Amino acid sequence: MLKSLKVLDLGNNQLSGSIPPELGNLTELVNMNLQSNDLTGRLPPGLGNLKYLQELRLDRNKLQGPVPGGDSSNFSSTINGILYFQGNCLQIQNKDAKQRPSIQCAGASPARSQPLVNPNMYMSKHHGASKPVWLLALEIITGTMIGSLFLIALLAALQRGNKKASIIIPWKKSTSQNDSMTVYIDPEMLKDVRRYTRQELDVACEDFSNIIGSSPDSVVYKGTMKGGPEISVISLCIKEEHWIGYLELYFQREVADLARLDHENTGKLLGYCRESTPFTRMLVFEYASNGTLHEHLH
């Protein structure tokens, strides 16, 4: 183990499974970032023993169970720093650490490492003996009925879940294809970021004719909002049939991260545009005119 490790940043990946308990042995750790992954299972109790840890980011995963110490408030008494638990399935009394809706936590339990049933339990003492035909037919019929009832119950639960806060949108890759995939949009992630319509940006950028830059995957336009500031709009050049669910989730996280970025030497994100007809994904920044390096730094 890297016992002298001070910073562990694995956020915004596609990590799955449970958090290894060995992370509790990184006694010199100061910053741990595991946010925006697909981690499940319970929190290792050893995380509460990292006395030098100043920031622990576990938000936007599918972690379950109680927090070591009973609550994030007690947990923070062990870790002298900042804790992020939002967007999980944890049992937390702290209302500020808002957790996922129950419909998204239903499938978050980790896979068992041991089988539920001993396969030798139903084996005959004489390996050469076979089951009667009528018994085999009865087992098939019973299994089919149980599977049908389970499917009906699952569909009913999904219909009830559509009425909750989370939005489940079926996303068709192409009008000529029958296959589709489901994109889970977290309404809390972009609630504080302004959403522009394509029509607003079309007017501001003069029918998208004022092009100031381009690359193989994007085009940059300059525009002026009515009664507002000058803007630069980055439009992603990607076809709808190539826009998969992972890209949609990555776009949301990118908007959320850029919205939190506030520095005088970086462009300020004003909002975003997301529409289906026509297919549009855009980022809206405050326009920064060209100048010398000295002007930008001072």
**Secondary structure (DSSP) of 166-217:** SEEEEEES-TT---EEEEEE-TTTTTTSEE--HHHHHHHTTTTT-EEEEETT
Task: Report the amino acid identity of residue 266.
Answer: T
pLDDT band at 190 (very low <50, low <70, confident <90, very high): confident
User: Whole-model pTM?
Assistant: 0.37
Between 156 and 266, the higher pLDDT residue:
156
pLDDT at 162: 59
pLDDT at 295: 65
pLDDT of 93 strictly over 60: yes
In angstroms and rounded to an integer, the radius of gyration of the C-alpha atoms of the chain is 26
pLDDT of 202 strictly over 50: yes
pLDDT of 54 strictly over 60: yes
Contact present, 89 and 109 (Cβ < 8 Å):
no
C-alpha distances in Å from residue 42, one per residue of 14, 39, 64, 99: 18, 9, 5, 14
- Mean per-residue pLDDT, 72-83: 59
> Measured between alpha carbons, how far is 48 from 75 in angstroms, rounded to an integer?
7
pLDDT of 108 strictly over 70: no
pLDDT at 75: 61
Contact present, 35 and 59 (Cβ < 8 Å):
yes
Q: What is the CATH number of domain 194-297?
A: 3.30.200.20
DSSP structure class, residue 18: P
> Measured between alpha carbons, how far is 25 from 28 in angstroms, rounded to an integer?
9
**Token pair for 106:** 């239903």
**Residue 42 region, left (φ>0) first, then alpha (ψ -120 to 50), else beta?**
beta
Which residues does residue 39 pair with via DSSP β-bridges, in sequence order?
Answer: 17
Domain boundaries defined on the chain:
7-105, 194-297
pLDDT of 3 strictly over 80: no
Between 14 and 138, the higher pLDDT residue:
14
Between 227 and 199, the higher pLDDT residue:
199
Nearest to 229 by CA among 270, 196, 180: 270
Between 47 and 203, the higher pLDDT residue:
203
- Express as a percent the part of the chain with pLDDT over 90: 8
> Measured between alpha carbons, how far is 19 from 57 in angstroms, rounded to an integer?
13
Between 293 and 225, the higher pLDDT residue:
225
Between 75 and 166, the higher pLDDT residue:
75
- Mean per-residue pLDDT, 85-108: 78
- Express as a percent the part of the chain with pLDDT over 70: 73
pLDDT at 264: 72
- Mean per-residue pLDDT, 104-111: 63
Between 243 and 182, the higher pLDDT residue:
243
pLDDT band at 131 (very low <50, low <70, confident <90, very high): low
pLDDT of 174 strictly over 70: no
The chain-wide mean pLDDT, for the chain, equals: 76
- Mean per-residue pLDDT, 89-95: 79
For residues 225, 266, 192, 159, the Cα torsion angle rounded to the nearest 10 degrees is 100
* SS3 of residue 64 by DSSP: strand
pLDDT at 104: 76
Most trustworthy range by pLDDT among 43-52, 130-139, 183-192: 43-52
Of the listed ranges 122-131, 187-196, 222-231, the least confidently predicted one is: 122-131
The class level of CATH for 7-105 reads alpha beta
pLDDT of 87 strictly over 80: yes
pLDDT at 182: 53
